[in-house]
Amino acid sequence: MDATCCTGARQQQQQQQQQQRQQQQQQQQQQQQQQQQQQQHQQKQQQQQQQQQPQQQQHHQQQQQQQQQEQQQQQQPQQQQQQTWHEPLSVDPFSVCICPPSQKGRKAKHAVLPTQNPKP
């Protein structure tokens, strides 16, 4: 019984360290589109581990999720400036050429290439 508790606590500590490192790296890079994707993955992993680990550790994970949600809220206004492809699709014909970050990644901001968009 003690071994399982110890392994659970170790996994938790490693999780906290990894998340703090990733968050620091993401803040330095300021690649907000990638941050959203990585944070979403982290939250999915946390939710799965919450079900497996004992209830005492859920409090720590809930605090981590709150920190990530705060970061996402801070990043959202900056991301809305970059991800202009999402709203003006019906207004701006050139914005259709810009692919979402899931396909093009960082370069999705300035990927305005009319050759990629077959005109009707």
Q: Which domain holds residue 66?
A: 1-75
If asked whether residues 42 and 66 sit together in one domain, one would say yes
If asked whether residues 119 and 67 sit together in one domain, one would say no
If asked whether residues 92 and 66 sit together in one domain, one would say no
Please enumerate in sequence order all residues whose Cβ is within 8 A of that of 39, keeping only pairs 6 or more positions apart, or say none.
68, 71, 72
If asked whether residues 33 and 61 sit together in one domain, one would say yes
pLDDT at residue 82 in the model: 46
If asked whether residues 31 and 50 sit together in one domain, one would say yes
If asked whether residues 67 and 88 sit together in one domain, one would say no
pLDDT, tens digit, 9 for 90 and up, residues 2-56: 555 555 555 556 656 666 555 555 555 554 444 455 555 555 555 555 455 545 5
If asked whether residues 88 and 67 sit together in one domain, one would say no
The amino acid occupying position 91 is V
If asked whether residues 88 and 60 sit together in one domain, one would say no
If asked whether residues 93 and 63 sit together in one domain, one would say no
pLDDT, tens digit, 9 for 90 and up, residues 57-113: 444 555 555 555 555 555 444 444 444 455 544 555 555 555 555 554 455 455 556
Counting the structural domains of the chain, the total is 2
If asked whether residues 23 and 66 sit together in one domain, one would say yes
If asked whether residues 88 and 55 sit together in one domain, one would say no
If asked whether residues 64 and 93 sit together in one domain, one would say no
Q: How far is CA 82 from CA 24, 33, 35, 61, 77, in A?
A: 21, 8, 13, 30, 9
